[in-house]
Amino acid sequence: MSGGAQTATPLRKTESAFAVEDVSMLKDILTMRKSAIAGKWLEKILESYPPDSRKFFGKDDPFGNPVGHVIADSVNSFIDELTQAASPERAAACLDEFIRIRAVQEFSPGIAVGFVLRLKEVIRESIKDELNDGLKNQLTELDEIIDMVTLNVFDKYMEYREKVFAIKANEIRNRSMKMIERINRKYGFEPGEED
């Protein structure tokens, strides 16, 4: 039995090593269908916006619609990264500009970052005719990558939300200080004076 060394390998590593051929097959399918997947995913993302915004953001014009352009660019960059290296950190970085926009929009955190998970549904729909055991294994691995990306995106979203709240708090503080200064001038109080 010359396979003794192979059976000592942990099961997960054996599955990953076995699936390398399938990975390229899944990535090839995703690469061939990149435009269709990006288009369907973009539609899913736009569903989170009101109908008027959805129609407007659906236009990819960097000057006339910079938000729509960022959304489309983020979607395409993300899918490119997913079909190449599939590093969760690098893939999440592709969505950074879009997450900054989502952080200032009035979305709950679940809706703001939930669009990443909707990609799983789009991918499954796109490859349902070719689905076999090898692709199912690879989809499971891809799901794990998308889940890790979602967590990274959520962390970034919360970081940006905290910055937005800090900016708002500073604006309120500055506005209040200016109002106090005007009141003090109006009634002749000098800073540091006691009654």
pLDDT at 36 over 70: yes
- The reported pLDDT for the residue numbered 99 is 96
- The reported pLDDT for the residue numbered 12 is 32
Summarize the confidence of residues 3-14 as an average pLDDT: 35
**pLDDT tens per residue across span 153-169:** 999 999 999 998 888 88
What residue has token string 């109080």? 189
Question: What does the alpha-carbon distance between residue 142 and residue 37 come to, in Å, rounded to a whole number?
Answer: 15
In the chain the domains, ranked by start, together with CATH numbers, are: 10-158 (1.10.490)
pLDDT at 14 over 50: no
pLDDT at 150 over 90: yes
Question: What does the alpha-carbon distance between residue 95 and residue 77 come to, in Å, rounded to a whole number?
Answer: 8
Summarize the confidence of residues 179-189 as an average pLDDT: 81
| Among candidate residues 157, 164, 24, 47, the one with its CA nearest the CA of residue 92 | 157
Q: Is 65 helix (H, G, I), strand (E, B) or coil?
A: strand
Name the E strands within 29-73. none
User: Which neighbouring-strand residues pair with 61?
Assistant: 65
- The reported pLDDT for the residue numbered 55 is 81
Question: What does the alpha-carbon distance between residue 131 and residue 99 come to, in Å, rounded to a whole number?
Answer: 32
Least trusted range by pLDDT, from 11-25, 26-40, 67-81: 11-25
**pLDDT tens per residue across span 83-142:** 886 678 889 999 999 999 999 998 999 999 999 999 999 999 999 888 888 888 889 989
pLDDT at 148 over 70: yes
> Which tokens belong to 14?
């054996």
- Give the largest Cα separation in the chain, rounded: 97
Residue 140: alpha-carbon gap to chain centroid: 19
Q: Are the C-beta atoms of 19 and 134 separated by less than 8 Å? A: yes
**pLDDT tens per residue across span 72-84:** 999 999 999 988 8
Q: Are the C-beta atoms of 145 and 88 separated by less than 8 Å? A: yes
**What is the chain's Cα-based Rg?**
24
Question: What does the alpha-carbon distance between residue 80 and residue 170 come to, in Å, rounded to a whole number?
Answer: 39
